[in-house]
Structure 1
Amino acid sequence: MTDPEDADRLKALSARIDAMKEEHAPKPRTPDHHSQAQLAWRMVIELVAGLGIGFGMGYGLDALFGTTPFLMIIFIFLGLAAGIKTMMRSAQEVQSKREAEEAAEDDAPRG
């Protein structure tokens, strides 16, 4: 059997553990005011990266085959298309994440 002293010690230990859990519990998520700027920069970088890669590939192939502006122009447009496609995929990903968060907030019990 347990002593009343042990029961008191267990209650005190339980209270200390609960206090530590509460202290180290994750804070509620606050909206980051930089998130929109980060998203915008991500999309700009994706577009510029597509253009840069297209330019580099076109320039390299032009230098290799000796067709000075022809392939560079084609690959710049292909890089632009790839950059726009990547931007659209990122925007769709962010939109689906927001919709999931809104659905989770709607489903959350209120109290």
Structure 2
Amino acid sequence: MSDPDLDSKLTELERKIEAAKTARDVTKAHQEEHYSQAQLAWRMVTEMVAGLGIGFGIGYGLDVLFGTTPFLMVLFTLLGIAAGINVMLRSAAEIQKAQEARQKGNEGDADGE
């Protein structure tokens, strides 16, 4: 009842569709990884700039309030930089732990197969 030529064409079409889906999934995973790395980089930059800006703002405000022109501004700017670096280092450690856990999970999957 069924034509062998049609069956072979149908099988070939299903194979091509499956290959296209697999290629799309691999490309999508790579793009998500790329964007996540960019997001992490921007997060760290934002944390550093925020620490610097907040420190500068507090120091400038206290200088205006107390009349000590550059002293507190410089002091709080340096403290803001230190706080920004501290937050960046904590973020980097958090990211590293997540990547190590992901690698261990991938190794466990490879060993199980």
TM-score > 0.5 by shorter chain: yes
Give the drift of 1:37.
Answer: 1.1
The match for 2:49 is: 48
Relative to the length of structure 2, the TM-score reads 0.69
* Matched ranges for 1:11-90 at <5 A: 30-31=29-30, 32=32, 33-90=34-91
Give deviations 1:56-75, integer Å, cap 9, x for gaps. Answer: 11011111111011000000
Relative to the length of structure 1, the TM-score reads 0.70
Question: Aligned residues, how many?
Answer: 84
Give deviations 1:16-65, integer Å, cap 9, x for gaps. Answer: xxxxxxxxxxx898242211111111010000000000001101111111
Give aligned-pair identity as a percent: 60
Distance 2:86 2:66 in 1: 29
CA RMSD of aligned residues (A): 1.7
Instruction: Report the structure, 1 or 2, having the larger helix content.
Output: 2
| Letter in structure 2 aligned against 1:77 | L
Q: Report the 3-state secondary structure (helix = DSSP H, G, I; strand = E; otherwise coil) of the residue aligned with 1:98.
A: helix
Structure 1, unpaired ranges of 5+: 1-26
Structure 2, unpaired ranges of 5+: 1-24
| Letter in structure 1 aligned against 2:68 | T
**After TM superposition, what 4+ stretches of structure 1 lie above 6 angstroms from structure 2?**
none
| Letter in structure 1 aligned against 2:37 | Q
Q: Report the 3-state secondary structure (helix = DSSP H, G, I; strand = E; otherwise coil) of the residue aligned with 2:29.
A: coil
